[in-house]
Amino acid sequence: MSTPTFTAATLPSNDNVNPYAFSVDLNGRWFAQKGKMIAYYGRIRFEALSAGPLDALVAASFHSPLYAQDWIVAEGQGKLLLADRGFDVNSFDLDEGNLTIRAGNLLAFEPGLELKQSIIPGFLTLIGTGRFVAASNGPVHFVEPPIRVDPQALLGWADCPSPCHHYDHSYMRGVLGAARMVFGVGGTSGEEHQFDFTGEGTVLMQSSEAVMSDDVMLRDLEGQIGMVGTSGLQRLQQSISQRLSAERQ
Amino acid sequence: MAQFRLNGSKMLAVDLAGETIKALNGAMVAYDGQMSFKRQGMTGGEGLRGALKRRIAGEGMTLMEVSGQGTVFLASEATEVTLVRLNGDTLFVESESLLALDAGLRTGVHFVGLRGMGTGQGLATTKVEGSGTAAIVSDGPAIALEVSPSEPLCVDPHAYVGHLGQLQQDVVTDVNWRTVLGQGSGESVQFRYQGHGLVYVQPAERGGILEI
């Protein structure tokens, strides 16, 4: 067995090179997450979203100031190879559809799609027609609601209503449960919180619980602070200092 | 000639009939037959001058000599193994990506200058010359990309594994005021290859010293 060899002509066009790398046949512009390009043939430029000439494109397709610094636009002609930490990479087509996906797992998308922030922190929603590329740790599984999934194993969902949180009842019961509610400590199985999906649609799961360790969640929380009033801020400050002093012990 | 073959994508099997090969120190996971493992001396078979160069370059590499009759299995941290056959060519590869090589292959240090800075690669890379088979490892299966004069190739330094053939390597930078402000494209530094040859890339990115 030898390593497959590719040239610009023999690289697949908008398809996987192997399960871990995707080749985009670029002719125009694609949005891509920063740092996921591994190689390219041809004339391709990478621009930050703040670049002047991209204003119209960004205004039309990218509606998430929170994630703008993580994204770039690849512009030009050629073959562009994308990969992410050796994760499985897959492409999906949307046809006048919508799909919500974990922000760290979305690698690239065509400008035919519009990107918006989901109500669920750390997730992004794509709306419209076009192709996008996403990474998952292990192959993707498609399941249908009703289903409860582990938050870390959830990749995204399409067509169905946004999930709600589900907590096991025993989590809140008894002395230990009360202690958990106040201090957030105590022995748990680690599986008392799930996302609950109902309705028609498809839920995408990855086959592990490894998620990109980044500060997306934190930035999301920070972004929501703007919606909190003065009294709310004081309460937040209180609970944060309470947690901090509990951590120090 | 020692027979190099893959046993699955993450393990290298080498059939030996009295020959000697060089392999990454500690990479043996199993063997059958009679084998002896000998750590290479201080100079690693590169002579005193070569060892000195390697020390200065910080391109550390510890190889062992494996010889005997039978089959030896080699692997390194479940990374993917790629076999590269050399016919008088030169393979440039990071020392940590080298798993095993035929005894007939010579290794040396090649200074690359400043281009290694900021990519976590240091100032030098390892050069493998001669005829025989070399086994390199990568994080995820390596992809070989061909370069011809009409089709130059650009590669992210973090995904670069090695290259082979008559290639000219330069650094393309696209650093502007946005990069300085932290608003850069994240792909501001690339290696560009021109000429005739093959470049191996991996579908994962090493962390660099500098994030540019």
Q: By percentage, how much of chain B surpasses pLDDT 90?
A: 33
What does the pLDDT read at residue B1?
A: 75
Closest CA to B166 of B135, B193, B130, B133: B193
**CA pair distance B53, B56, nearest whole angstrom:** 5
Cβ within 8 Å, pair B143-A3: yes
Contacts of B15 (CB under 8 A, 6+ apart): B2, B3, B5, B70, B71
Q: Name the residue ranges covered by the structural domains of chain B.
A: 3-201
Architecture of the domain delimited by B3-201: 4-Layer Sandwich (3.60)
- Least confident piece of the model among A172-176, A194-198, A229-233: A172-176
Q: By percentage, how much of chain A surpasses pLDDT 90?
A: 36
B119 at interface of A, judged by CB pairs closer than 8 A: no
What does the pLDDT read at residue B118?
A: 47
Residue B138 has pLDDT above 60, yes or no: yes
What does the pLDDT read at residue B69?
A: 93
Mean pLDDT for B188-194 is 83
Cβ within 8 Å, pair A72-B186: yes
Q: By percentage, how much of chain A surpasses pLDDT 70?
A: 87
Sequence-ordered alpha helix ranges (H) in A13-64: 55-61
Q: What is the 3-state secondary structure (H, E, C) of B114-165?
A: HHHCCCCCCCEEEEEEEEEEEEEEECCCCEEEEEECCECEEECHHHEEEEEE
DSSP string, A87-155: -EEEEEEEEEEEEEEEGGGEEEE-TTEEEEE-SSTTEEEEEEEEEEEEEESS-EEEE-SSEEE-TTTEE
- Least confident piece of the model among A48-57, A70-79, B136-145: A48-57
Using an 8 Å Cβ cutoff, are B97 and B136 in contact?
yes
Distance from CA of A83 to the nearest CA of B (A): 5
| Nearest-by-CA chain B residue for A21 | B203
A43 at interface of B, judged by CB pairs closer than 8 A: no
- Which of chain B's residues have a Cβ under 8 Å away from the Cβ of A45? 174
Mean pLDDT of chain B: 81
A46 at interface of B, judged by CB pairs closer than 8 A: yes
What does the pLDDT read at residue B122?
A: 56
Shortest CB distance from A35 goes to which of B153, B186, B202? Answer: B186
A120 at interface of B, judged by CB pairs closer than 8 A: no
Mean pLDDT for A69-93 is 91
Contacts of B212 (CB under 8 A, 6+ apart): B118, B175, B179, B184, B186, B188, B189
Pick B184 or A200 by higher pLDDT. Answer: A200
Shortest CB distance from B183 goes to which of A44, A69, A85? Answer: A69
**CA pair distance B29, A118, nearest whole angstrom:** 48
Instruction: State the best of A5, A16, A37 to mutate against chain B, taking most chain B CBs within 10 Å.
Output: A37
Mean pLDDT for A62-84 is 89
A1 at interface of B, judged by CB pairs closer than 8 A: yes
Shortest CB distance from A20 goes to which of B140, B174, B178? Answer: B140
Q: Please count the CA atoms within 13 angstroms of the CA of A203 that sit on its side-chain side.
A: 22
- What confidence category does residue B42 fall into, taking pLDDT thresholds of 50, 70 and 90? low
Cβ within 8 Å, pair A8-B156: no
What does the pLDDT read at residue B135?
A: 93
What does the pLDDT read at residue B182?
A: 53
Shortest CB distance from A3 goes to which of B140, B142, B184? Answer: B142
Distances (CA, A) of A27 to A33, A194, A199: 18, 42, 38
Residue A217 has pLDDT above 70, yes or no: no
What does the pLDDT read at residue A1?
A: 47
Contacts of A158 (CB under 8 A, 6+ apart): A97, A98, A99, A100, A201, A202, A204
